[in-house]
Amino acid sequence: MQGTALPYEYQIDVADDDIDFMGHVNNASYLKWVQDAVISHWRGLAPPEAVAQHLWVALKHEITYRRPAFLEDDVVATVLLEKVHGARVFYETIIKRGTDVLAEVKSSWCCLDAETLRPARIAQNVIDHFFAKIDDQP
């Protein structure tokens, strides 16, 4: 048993080019934000040697849009590593403005060896960096 996934918060800067013809954030920007947030999560929690040895490719994003986002919004993505299965990793990312959920994203990724560009399993001692130890839980 791994324990509880450590939430990772990623601040999103809404840029002028994120805004579409209707005056709110274009759906394509959410994909960019999720990719940036997941990669930042990996780089922020994994040991430096693991970061240097692995690359990530998104396989699937399933996005449920709840509310529009706008240029001046303070937007944060909270990333959780849900499951690791071989070279595949499954994430949940919640994008919020304050307490309002803007989008919920389920995504799957493939870990690649940085040298061979072939799928690579992640060692358990690396995976453990993404979860609170069961002993540490209240």
String of DSSP letters for 88-102: EEEEEEEEEETTEEE
pLDDT band at 136 (very low <50, low <70, confident <90, very high): low
Average pLDDT along the chain: 94
**Which pair of tokens denotes residue 3?**
């324990």
- Give 138's contacts (C-beta < 8 A, 6+ positions apart): none
Quick check: 93 pLDDT over 80?
yes
- Give 124's contacts (C-beta < 8 A, 6+ positions apart): none
Q: Which residue segments constitute the domains of the chain, with CATH numbers given?
A: 4-136 (3.10.129.10)
Question: Does residue 73 or residue 135 have the better pLDDT?
Answer: 73
pTM of the model: 0.90
Q: What is the pLDDT of residues 6-50, one digit of tens each?
A: 999 999 999 999 999 999 999 999 999 999 999 999 999 999 999
